[in-house]
Structure 1
Amino acid sequence: MDIVVMKFGGTSVRDQAMRYQAFRHIRREVSAGYKVVVVVSAMGRHGEPYATDSLKELVTYHVSKREYDRLLSCGEILSSIVMSDFLQQQGLKVTSLAPSEVGIKTDTNYTNANIITVEIDKMMDLFNDYDVLVAPGFLGTTEDGSITTLGRGGSDTSAVALGGALKATYVDIYSDVEGVMTADPKLVKNARVLEKISYDSLIALAARGAKVIHLKAIELAKKNHVNLRLRSTSADHIGTYVVDEEVTTLSLTYKAGYTRYEIFGVVRPIECHELVKHGEYWYAQTYDEEAVEKYLKDEGLSYEKHGNYVQVSWMNQQRTPMELTFYVDALKLEETLNFLHYNLI
C-alpha cells in the first residue's frame, strides 16, 4: 500500500474556497493510486472564531494545562470533521479520526508534549474501507487517553511523525507559498522557489525565521529520513523537495521582535547572554528586555533603547556555509530585503 501524508494549515482550510483547493491536491493523489492521510490545523488565523489563538483567549490561564490542551484540541477536531464532510461531498471515500485513532502517543508534558510512539494499526484497518483519512494535527494522547498538544507548529510535527510511521512515499506540507523561497514573497517581489533544499539548510532557515515548516518537524523528518515536499495549496507548482544531500542555497530570512540598546560608560566586557553586539549597538529579543535591563542596572550602566527591530540573515548554504546577520528598523525591512535580494541573490 502506497501512502501520502498531506498537511494543510489553517489558511488552507479556513473556508469552502480554500478547502476546494486542498481537495484538488487530494483528488490528484487518490487518482494516482495512493491512500491519503490529510492532517489539518485549526481553521483560520487569530481573530477567526475557531483558530487556536482565538480559543486561547477564551480562558485566563487559571485552568490546568491538561484542561487547556482539551480546549485547544477543539480547533483541530472541528477542522478535521468539517474537512471530512467537505471531501465526502466531493465524492471521496473518507472519514475523520478522533485524536486517539490518530495513534500519536505522548508523555504528559501538556501544551508541549513529546511523542513517544506512533501506533498505526487503526489507520491501516480503516484504509480497507476508505481512501482518505482526515486527522486532527497538533494533538496526541497519553497512555491514559488524555489529549495533549505538541506545541507551536504541532500540525507539521504530526504530519512528519505519521509519515515516518506509515513509511509514506511523501509527506507534503501545504501552505500559502509555493515552497521554500529565496526570500519572503510578500515582501520581496522577485523571490524565487527553490527546487531542492537540504534538511540542514532548511533547519538553519527555520531557526532564523523562515515559516514554511516548523523547526521541530524538520528535525524529526531528518532523523527519520522522511521524504518532504513543501508546496502551495493554491498552485500546482511541484514545490520544494527536501533532500539528504548537499545543495547550494542562497536565501534571506528575518525574525522580528528585537530591541536595540545604545549602552554608555562600558569599561569592562558585557556579560549578558541575552545581548548581542552588532556594530556600535547591542540587540536583544523583546521578551528578554526585563532581564537585560536588570543586568544593566546592576552594572550601573546607562542606556537608550529603541524597539521594533528585525534580525535579517543572508545565508549561503554550501560546502562552506556563510552567513551575514544584521538588524534593521522594521519600517525599513521591505526596502532592505529587496535591496539585498537584488544584489546578493
Structure 2
Amino acid sequence: MDIVVLKFGGTSVCDEKTRYEAFKHIRREVNAGYRVVVVVSAMGRVGAPYATDTLKSLVAYHLSKKESDRLISCGEVISSIVMSDFLQQEGLKACALAPNEVGIKTDRNFSNANIEKVETDYLLSQLKEYQVVVVPGFVGTTSENEITTLGRGGSDTSAVALGAALHAVYVDIYSDVEGVMTADPKLVKNARVLEKISYDNLIALAARGAKVIHLKAVELAKQNHVKLRLRSTTADHIGTYVVEEEISSISLAYKTGYTRYELVGVTTPINCQPLTKHGLYWYASSQDEKVVEDYLTENKISYQKEENYVRVSLINQQRSPKEETYYVSAMKLEDTLNFLHCNLT
C-alpha cells in the first residue's frame, strides 16, 4: 500500500471553495493509486468561528494548559469532520479520526507537547478500508489519552511525523503560497518560487521567521529523511522540493517584535543574553523587554528605547547557510525587503 500525506492549513479549508481546491489535489492522488492521509488545521484564521485564536478568546486565561489544550483542539477536530464529509459528498470514500485514534503519542508538556512515538496500527487499518483518512493536525494524546497540542505550526509537525511513521512516498504541505519563495510575496511583488531548497536552508529560513513551514517540522523531516514538498492549494504548480543535496539559493526572511535600545554612557561590557548589538544600537525581542530593562536598571545603564522593529535576514545558501542581518522599523519593512530583493544575485 503506497501512502501519501497531504497537509492543508487553515486558509485551505476555511470554506467550501477552498475545500474544493484541496479536494482536487486529494482526488489526483487517489486516481494515481495512493491511499491518502489528509492532515487539516482549524478552519480559517483569527475571527473565524473555529480558528485556534478565536477559541482561545472564549476564555479569560484562567484555565490550566491541560484544559486549554482540550479547548483549542476542538478547531482541528471540527475541521477534520467537515473535510471528511465534504470529500464523501464529492464521491471519495473517506473517514475522519479522533485524536486518540490518530496514534500521535506525546509527553505531558501541555500547549507545546513533544512527540514520543506514532502508533500506526489503527490508522493503517482504516487506510485499507478507506481511500482517504482525514486527521486533525496539531493534536496528540498522552499515554493516559489526555489531549495535548504541539505548539504553533503543529499541524506541519503532525504531517511530517505521520509521513515518517507510515513510510509515506512523500508529504505535501499545502498553503496559500506556491512554495518556498525568495521573499514574502505579500510584500515583495517579484518574489520567485524556489524549485528546490535544502533541509538546512529551509531550517535557517524557518528559524528566522519564514512562515511556509514550522521549524520543528523541517527538523523532523530532515532527521527522518522524509520526502517533503511545499505547494499551493490554489495552483497546480509543483511547488518546492526539499532535498538533502546542497542547493545554492538566496532568500529573505523576517521576524517582527523587536525593540531597539540606545544605551547611554556604557563603560562596562554588556552581559545580557537577550541583547544583540548591531551597529550603534542594541536589539532584543519584545518578549524579553522586562529581562533587558531589569538588567539595565540594576547596572545603572541609561537607555532610550523604540519599539516595533523587525529583524530581516538574508540567507545565502552555498555549502552552508550564510546570513546577513538587518534591523528596520516596521514602517520601512516593505521598502527594505523590496530593495534587498532587487539586489539578490
In structure 1, C-alpha distance between the alignment counterparts of 2:204 and 2:170, rounded to whole Å: 22
SS at match of 2:128: coil
Given the superposition, is the C-alpha separation of residues 162 and 320 from structure 1 closer, same or farther in structure 2, using an over 3 Å criterion? closer
Q: Flag the 1:321–1:142 CA change in 2: closer, same or farther, 3 A.
A: closer
**Residues 132-171 of structure 1 correspond to what in structure 2 (within 5 A)?**
132-171=132-171
Per-residue deviation, 1:151:
1.0
SS of 2:200 mapped into structure 1: helix
Change (3 A) 1:262 1:8: same
Name the aligned partner's letter for residue 238 of structure 1: I
Tell me, yes or no, if the aligned pair for 2:41 and 2:137 is still in contact at 8 Å.
yes
Which residue of structure 1 lines up, in the alignment, with residue 66 of structure 2? Answer: 66
State the match for 1:205 in structure 2. Answer: 205
SS of the aligned residue for 1:182 comes to coil
- Indicate the residue corresponding to 1:247 in structure 2: 247
How far apart in 2 are the matches of 1:22 and 1:134?
12
**What's the secondary structure of 2:145's corresponding residue?**
coil
Rounded Cα–Cα distance in structure 1 between residues aligned with 2:66 and 2:274: 32
Q: What corresponds to 1:292 in structure 2?
A: 292
Question: Deviations 1:282-306 (Å, cap 9, x if unpaired)?
Answer: 1111111111111111111111111
Structure 2 counterpart of 1:80: 80
For residues 188-337 of structure 1, the aligned pairs below 5 Å read: 188-337=188-337
Deviation at 1:184, TM superposition (A): 0.4
In 2, Cα distance between the equivalents of 1:45 and 1:153?
13
2:3 aligned partner, one-letter code:
I
Matched residue, 1:42: 42
d(CA) in 2 for partners of 1:116 and 1:300?
Answer: 46
CA offset digits 1:209-253 (Å, max 9, x no partner): 100000000111011110000000011100000011111110011
Paired amino acid for 2:202: L
Quote the Cα distance in structure 2 between the aligned partners of 1:288 and 1:143: 35
- Per-residue deviation, 1:101: 1.1
Give me the whole-angstrom Cα distance separating, in 1, the residues matched to 2:162 and 2:174. 16
Distance 2:163 2:115 in 1: 14
In the TM superposition, what is the alpha-carbon distance from 1:120 to its structure 2 partner? 0.8
In structure 2, what is the Cα distance between the partners aligned to 1:176 and 1:36?
21
- Contact kept in structure 1, 2:200 and 2:320, CA below 8 Å: no
Contact 2:201 2:321 survives alignment (8 Å): no
1:175 aligns with 2:171: no
* Counterpart-to-counterpart distance in 2, 1:307 and 1:64: 31
Q: Structure 1, residues 190-224: CA drift from partner, whole Å, max 9, x if none?
A: 10000111111100000011000000001110111
Q: CA deviation at 1:321?
A: 3.4
Unaligned runs of 5+ in 1: none
Q: RMSD in angstroms over aligned alpha carbons?
A: 0.9
Deviates more, 1:54-63 or 1:194-203: 54-63
**Partners of 2:55 and 2:192 in 1: how far apart?**
35
Structure 2 unmatched ranges of 5 or more: none
Q: Is the 8 A contact 2:197 2:247 kept in 1?
A: yes
CA deviation after TM superposition for structure 1 residue 320, in Å: 4.9
Deviation at 1:143, TM superposition (A): 1.2
Structure 1 runs, 4 residues or longer, greater than 6 Å off: none
- Which amino acid is the alignment partner of residue 210 of structure 1? A
Name the CA distance, whole Å, in 2 between partners of 1:140 and 1:229.
Answer: 23
SS in structure 2 opposite 1:344?
coil
Structure 1: which amino acid aligns with 2:68? Y
Q: Displacement, 1:2?
A: 0.7
Give the residue type in structure 1 aligned to 2:273. H
Quote the Cα distance in structure 1 between the aligned partners of 2:79 and 2:114.
Answer: 23
Give the CA deviation at 1:109: 1.4
How far 1:64 moved relative to its partner? 2.2
- Determine helix, strand or coil for the equivalent of 1:283: strand
Match in the other structure for 1:14 = 14
Instruction: Report the 3-state secondary structure (helix = DSSP H, G, I; strand = E; otherwise coil) of the residue aligned with 2:80.
Output: helix
The answer (yes or no) to whether the contact 2:204–2:321 under 8 Å persists in 1 is no
Equivalences, count: 345
Identity %: 72
Task: Give distance in 2, aligned partners of 1:328 and 1:136.
Answer: 38
State how far apart, in whole Å, the 1-side matches of 2:278 and 2:134 are. 48
Letter in 1 for 2:303: Y
Question: What amino acid maps onto 2:136 in structure 1?
Answer: P
| Residue of structure 2 in register with 1:103 after alignment | 103
Q: Is the 8 A contact 2:178 2:193 kept in 1?
A: yes
- The CA deviation string for residues 146-168 of structure 1, in whole angstroms up to 9 with x for no partner, is 11111111100100000000000
After TM superposition, the structure 1 stretch with the greater mean CA deviation from structure 2, 317-326 or 205-214, is: 317-326
Once the two structures are superposed, residues 94-142 of structure 1 have per-residue CA deviations (whole angstroms, 9 ceiling, x without a partner) of 0000111111111111111111111111111112221000000011111
How many Å apart are 1:61 and its aligned residue? 2.4
Q: TM-score, normalised by structure 2?
A: 0.98
Supply the distance in 1 between the matched residues of 2:58 and 2:287 (Cα, whole angstroms).
23
CA distance in structure 2 between the partners assigned to 1:109 and 1:209 by the alignment: 24
For normalisation by structure 1, the TM-score amounts to 0.98
